[in-house]
Amino acid sequence: MSARQAIEVGKKAAKPLLSLNQAEAKKRVLSLYKAWYRQIPYIVKEFDIPKSEEQCREKLKEFFMNNKDVTDVRVIDMLVIKGQMELKESVNMWKQKGHIMTYFKPTEEPKPKDFLSKFFSSNE
């Protein structure tokens, strides 16, 4: 196979998941964000979590901002699909309080220094 043929094989366009372009993907992301934002008061009330609505909205914003640099439309669509699944599971109460509270786990946990801390963290 020549180099030119290899380049042609590599240029094959991948089939889109949901969105055909960047603008459509952005619209889906904003729609998902708004859906989560609207459901936060109900989630806080139904799951009786020890967090305020404002804290939940901050965490929601943090999750979306973690992926702000993703530019591949297929990856964006996959993240949107996963977000929609999480939302549906939360709204339908298929999750438990512990599942919701794992969203509030610190993003970077400090490394354990002593033997017992290392032992306990390895069993989680």
Residue with tokens 């914003």: 61
pLDDT tens digits, 32-56: 999 999 999 999 999 999 999 999 9
Residue 112: inside a domain, yes or no? no
Residue 7: inside a domain, yes or no? no
Residue 13: inside a domain, yes or no? no
Instruction: Give the span between the Cα atoms of 69 and 121, in whole angstroms.
Output: 31
Residue 43: inside a domain, yes or no? yes
**Band (108; pLDDT cuts 50, 70, 90):** low
Residue 51: inside a domain, yes or no? yes
Lowest mean pLDDT among 14-18, 21-25, 50-54, 89-93: 14-18
In this structure, are residues 41 and 54 in contact, taking their beta carbons and an 8 Å threshold?
A: no
Instruction: Give the span between the Cα atoms of 75 and 95, in whole angstroms.
Output: 25
Task: Give the domain extent around 100.
Answer: 22-105
Residue 30: inside a domain, yes or no? yes
Structural domain tally of the chain? 1
What region does 92 belong to: left with phi over 0, alpha with psi -120 to 50, or beta? alpha
In this structure, are residues 60 and 37 in contact, taking their beta carbons and an 8 Å threshold?
A: yes
